[in-house]
Amino acid sequence: MIYTDTRDSSVKVDFKTAVLNGMNSKTGGLYIPVEFPRLDESILKSNSEPSFRSVALEMAKPYCKGEIPDDDLDAIIQDAYPFISKLNQIDPITYILELFHGPTCAFKDFGARFMARVMSYFNRENSDNLHILVATSGDTGSAVGSAFHNVPGIDVTILYPEGKISPLQEKQLSTFTGNVRALKVKGTFDDCQKLVKTAFVDEDLRSKFRLSSANSINISRLLPQGFYYMYASLLAKAKSYISNKLEDPAIIVTVPSGNFGNLTSGLIAQKMGAPITGFVAATNSNRTIPDWIATGKYEARPSVETYANAMDVGAPSNYERIAAMYSLEEVRKLFASYWLDNDGIIESIKDCHTKTGYIIDPHGAVAWKAWDDIRSGCLEKLMGGLKGDYTKPGLTANVPDWAKEVVNKNAVGIILETADPAKFGATVKQAIGKDPIIPDRLQKVMQLPDKAIPMENNYETFKQWLMENL
């Protein structure tokens, strides 16, 4: 497979180069495959329930062809996924795709564990360390740290915004030892991400160290997140008639979105044949993408702090990939977009629990509210000509091509639940009046000592630290 660059289509590199470089240091662009091969029809049209690991292997093969033999790739996938995603039906036409059954209780485990093993595979013949720099708004860092912890030949530095993630999330970041360490930056996630991106294009730094990324900047973290979109949509399709009496429903996937890597992974899965009719991009008050869809103008802005902190991103990196894959008009036909403020997040957690008994985290709650509004008449009102105010919480006024499927009651929704609600216990308790159950693996990390290193929001200070410590 050949990979090109979102900022220079003349760039042509192989998978190994794209993975180990993270991004193109010459242009600042992101790597993206030149094609998205469709899976075999025998997989896409099967009426039996799919196997997650088999789906993952078949999806990964074309992107690693000629660089990782199939047997080695299968071993990577088997080792990466001792867990899988779980699809739970919570009402007649709504599924929750639980993505928190990995070691750090967040969807980032799916991408990080595959990426760590691929990087280790490609790095096995090098004598010097590969240095991973990663910015996190909550869950990415812990997933990456866990995936790379004690992996030979790889060194990891995680940057997170001090005081802007949940206490449990911070414990997951600040307690690593050995080849993984965390820097708590006096700033926002966007500040952390800017420090990392600046380091990648710093020729002086790159001349001394081999640097790579583990954010959704890195294509090897983005591609495997597509595995669960393919798996879940095929499973929902196979179960549809028994579960909801619909023979061939339109499948609408609602994605909690911050840096928009997760949604981009869904787009890749759809291009590979996943039976997904459309997407809902659901975010918090950091509404950069909904505003772009509404106005046609992309304007990055400083992030604001919310209860759904993993989505506190004002300058989402994967906008570049979405814009490279689709025109704005194509996006408007494929996506509904939706945003919710903090009051809405609390009400949505409560509403989901009241209506279904399901305890959902703040990110999944934004997706729940988006889907519940869409199927309950909001989209039909837009089709009737009602134009909402995109500066207020709710749906952006575009009408996607799949709107009629929802209005005609021929659609089912898959909501991505991206983290265990226990990671946001205080917010969940505020909404429903009780604490969510804390998994044992999260309880254990709370007992570990903090080792995070304070860092100013200043590139020269950050660079000096890297030069002295890598």
pLDDT tens-digit profile of 244-302?
A: 888 889 999 999 998 898 999 999 999 999 999 999 999 999 999 999 999 999 999 98
Render pLDDT for 159-215 as a digit per residue (tens, 0 to 9).
Answer: 999 988 888 888 888 898 899 999 999 998 889 989 998 998 899 998 999 888 777
- Residue 138 in this model has a pLDDT that exceeds 80: no
pLDDT: which is higher, 148 or 53: 53
pLDDT at residue 216 is higher than 80: no
The mean pLDDT value for 411-426 works out to 95
Dihedral sign for Cα 101, 103, 109, 114, please: negative
Is it the case that residue 89 has pLDDT exceeding 80? yes
Angle at 339 (CA atoms; ends 173, 255), nearest 5 degrees? 60
- Separation between Cα atoms, residue 439 and residue 75, nearest integer Å: 28
Q: For the stretch 213-249, what's the b/e string if a residue is b when 16 or more beta carbons lie within 10 angstroms of its beta carbon?
A: bbbbbbbbbbbbbbbbbbbbbbbbbbebeebbebeeb
User: Mean pLDDT across the chain, nearest whole number?
Assistant: 92
Least confident of 32-41, 95-104, 137-146, 202-211: 137-146
Q: Give the pLDDT band (50/70/90) at residue 447.
A: confident
Q: Is pLDDT above 90 for 386?
A: no
Residue 10, H or E segment:
strand 8-13
CA-CA distances (angstroms) from residue 374 to 290, 378, 391, 439?
A: 15, 5, 18, 33
Look-up of token digits 């772009």 = 292
Tell me the C-alpha distance between 464 and 118, whole Å.
29
Confidence of residue 41 (pLDDT cuts 50, 70, 90): very high
- For the beta carbon of residue 300, count every other beta carbon within 10 angstroms: 13
Res 464: pLDDT: 96
**Which of the four pLDDT bands, split at 50, 70 and 90, describes residue 22?**
confident
Task: Give the pLDDT band of residue 241 (cuts 50, 70, 90).
Answer: confident
Q: Which pLDDT band holds residue 151 (cuts at 50, 70, 90)?
A: confident
The yes/no answer on whether domain 220-438 falls in CATH 3.40.50.11890 is no
Rounded to whole angstroms, the Cα distance separating 13 from 1 reads 9
Chain CA centroid to CA 221, Å: 9
Which DSSP category does 188 fall into? -
**Residues 62, 453: Cα–Cα separation, whole Å:** 41
Every domain of the chain and the residues it spans: 220-438
Does residue 393 have a pLDDT over 80?
A: yes
